[in-house]
A = this chain, B = another copy of it.
Amino acid sequence: MFEQLGLIGCGLMGGSFALALKRAKLVKRVVGYSKSPSTTERARQLGVIDVAAPSALLAVSGSDLVLLAVPVVASEATFKAIRHGISSDTLVMDVGSTKGDVIEAARNGLQDQFAHFVPAHPIAGKEVSGIEHAEASLYTGRKVVLTPVKATLRSNVQRASQIWSGIGAHVVTMAPEEHDGAFAAVSHLPHLLAFAYINALIAQPQGDQFLRLAGPGFRDFSRIAAGDPVMWRDVLLANREQVLLQSQAFRKALLDLEALMTAVDAQALEHSIAAASKARTAWQPNTDAPQDS
């Protein structure tokens, strides 16, 4: 049980975390801060936070648990702003989709308090954002990846793991580089491909006409192209090296399939599609129980 959660960034991710902790009775009080005072006030009105703080530092002061749920590019400035509010028993976490860059920002921003920070990436979200869409169950049954480094306090990693487990999430621990490579492959690249796909469609004169004929396959395949442009700009730039490597590998696989089509090599084409189909059919969400910590 924590005395006080200091929530920096009262949006979908942060608000859902606060609601989940409250529901699980893991926190007594939530003090929130958002860059926009009207957002903070709205979060208070909705009961997501109990107290609206006028600054990030004041939200952190007296909090034994701090969650940064701000755009990844705002990380370093936010860490700097809260550094002096961190005490010996404070656990600081984030919710960013990329970890290498946030850890770098934390090193620079938190400096001698860096050991208190446990990098966290809950694999959850919605196509909509904002405090209005926050819900206590957003993280239930979802994976949360923790990427502690050498300097991270072991006791804080343990506490972080307990909190996420306590709100129903499955905790996985890995190295930051490993995380960023894996998420380039299973999340960032699919988003890049979905954006490119829609851009290629709408660049064609008949694009609108094509879109009117699209069915359920299109709907699911392209859903992630509706993601937030600022957030995805930041993710793709923060993890660009890994994403570009994955994109290259993808283009190679695409050219291989194109070559089989051009050659009308039915057997090899079927073989290649069958490999993909088999792997995708075998895939199950949340089957990594042995990896859970």
Given that A225-B280, A226-B280, A270-B229 are known contacts, is A285 also in contact with B219, CB under 8 Å in the complex? Answer: yes
Contacts of A228 in B (CB 8 A): 277
CA distance A221 to B190 in the complex (A): 7
Q: Is A153 an interface residue (CB 8 A)?
A: no
Question: What is the predominant secondary structure among interface residues of chain A facing chain B?
Answer: helix
A173-199 to B contact mask, C-beta < 8 Å, 1/0: 000000001110111011111111111
A277 to chain B, nearest CB (A): 5
In the bound complex, residues from chain B placing their C-beta under 8 Å from that of A273 are: 195, 227, 229, 232-233, 236
For chain A, the count of residues having a C-beta within 8 Å of the partner chain is 91
Please name 29 pairs of A and B residues whose Cβ atoms are closer than 8 Å in the assembled complex, sorted by A: A143-B213, A182-B206, A185-B206, A185-B207, A186-B201, A186-B210, A186-B214, A187-B214, A191-B217, A192-B258, A193-B221, A194-B280, A195-B272, A196-B253, A196-B256, A197-B250, A211-B279, A220-B220, A220-B221, A220-B224, A221-B223, A225-B280, A228-B277, A229-B270, A232-B273, A237-B264, A237-B269, A244-B262, A251-B254
**13 additional contacts, CB 8 Å, given A187-B214, A193-B254?**
A185-B204, A186-B215, A186-B218, A190-B221, A193-B197, A198-B276, A220-B220, A220-B223, A229-B273, A229-B274, A236-B269, A240-B262, A244-B258
